[in-house]
Amino acid sequence: MWFWFSVIALLCWSGSDLFSKIGCREHNDKTAHLKMVMAVGLVMGLHALYEIFFQGVEINLSIILTYLPVSMLYILSMAIGYIGLRYIELSVSTPICNSSGALVAIITILTRGFGDINQWQLVAIVLVTVGIIMLGVTEANEDEEMRARRQEAGNYKYAKSFLALLLPIIYCILDAAGTFADSIVLETLNEDSANVAYELTFLAAGIVSAIYVLGIKRESLVPKLEAPKYVGACFETVGQFFYIYALADSAHVALSAPIISSYCAVSVLWSRIFLKEKLSRKHYFCLLLVFIGIVIMGIFDA
């Protein structure tokens, strides 16, 4: 079943990217990212309660506090990623965000030496790094008229902006820091308990966001605009569930990991089909380098 679990995780996480983009892309909604945090917090909170009361997962305040730094890094990275979806195409943002695996490898090299990192992983790091740098150069140097022409089919126009590329890069850095910290903290915590601690912390973040948006800002929620956020939140949570079970089959991790890690390519496909995003050949070449690097990283992440 590892193959089907991997495919489901891939489809769910790419679906989460798509619906999160739809839910957060309104330029005039300054709190869309907080509403997205509310949605993910609610869905993850419900899943955490299911895990506690029906699956018997152990959880207590000590576990939550131990995992809190990791949870906060993940949650902050996702919130910043949601902000970034207002300023840049999903086709560009999702490969940058998913480059965190390569950054984790770099952090590991800097702090622990090369260790078990092999030549293929080094190649992956180079590909991802070069791809992102070239992507930034391509974005910065693209002619405004050419940008406008290729965005004609879509309903949203994006101007050249340093912030547009900076936000997914910040996501990548924070997510990599969270993943690195995760690898350390999970040496002392049960994975199921850690995941529930993360989901409960996300629930708390969602409640705080709701107090600010609904109580302080007194904004109203429009069902038509909020629905995609909750669909994206459901995809995110279900994808996490099947991701865990796919990687639980240790004999096939070398196969399941690259399948799941390629979900950013499917996100690009969805953005092309449903959001009518169209990039230049230079964009796609840069994204191809990043995608190949991510897949190589997934293959050798066992």
pLDDT string in tens for the chain (302-residue length): 788 888 899 899 999 999 999 999 887 888 999 999 999 999 999 999 999 999 999 999 999 999 999 999 999 999 999 999 888 888 888 888 888 877 877 777 777 676 666 788 788 888 888 888 888 888 778 777 777 777 776 656 676 677 888 999 999 999 889 888 888 888 888 889 999 999 999 999 999 999 999 999 999 999 999 999 999 999 999 998 888 778 667 666 666 767 777 788 889 889 888 988 888 888 889 889 888 888 887 777 65
User: pLDDT at position 242, please?
Assistant: 87
User: pLDDT at position 60, please?
Assistant: 97
User: pLDDT at position 259, please?
Assistant: 76
User: pLDDT at position 243, please?
Assistant: 83
Cα dihedral 256→257→260→262 (10° resolution):
-120
Distance CA 172, CA 97 (A): 5
| Cβ contacts of 212 within 8 Å, gap of 6 or more | 31, 34
Radius of gyration of the chain (CA): 19
User: pLDDT at position 94, please?
Assistant: 87
Instruction: Say if CB 297 and CB 41 are below 8 A apart.
Output: no
User: pLDDT at position 248, please?
Assistant: 65
SS3 (DSSP) at 161: coil
User: pLDDT at position 34, please?
Assistant: 96
User: pLDDT at position 126, please?
Assistant: 86
Handedness of CA 132, 144, 89, 283 (dihedral sign): negative
Instruction: Say if CB 266 and CB 10 are below 8 A apart.
Output: yes
User: pLDDT at position 98, please?
Assistant: 80
How many domains are contained in the chain?
Answer: 1
Q: Which domain holds residue 278?
A: 2-299
Instruction: Say if CB 100 and CB 269 are below 8 A apart.
Output: no
User: pLDDT at position 160, please?
Assistant: 67
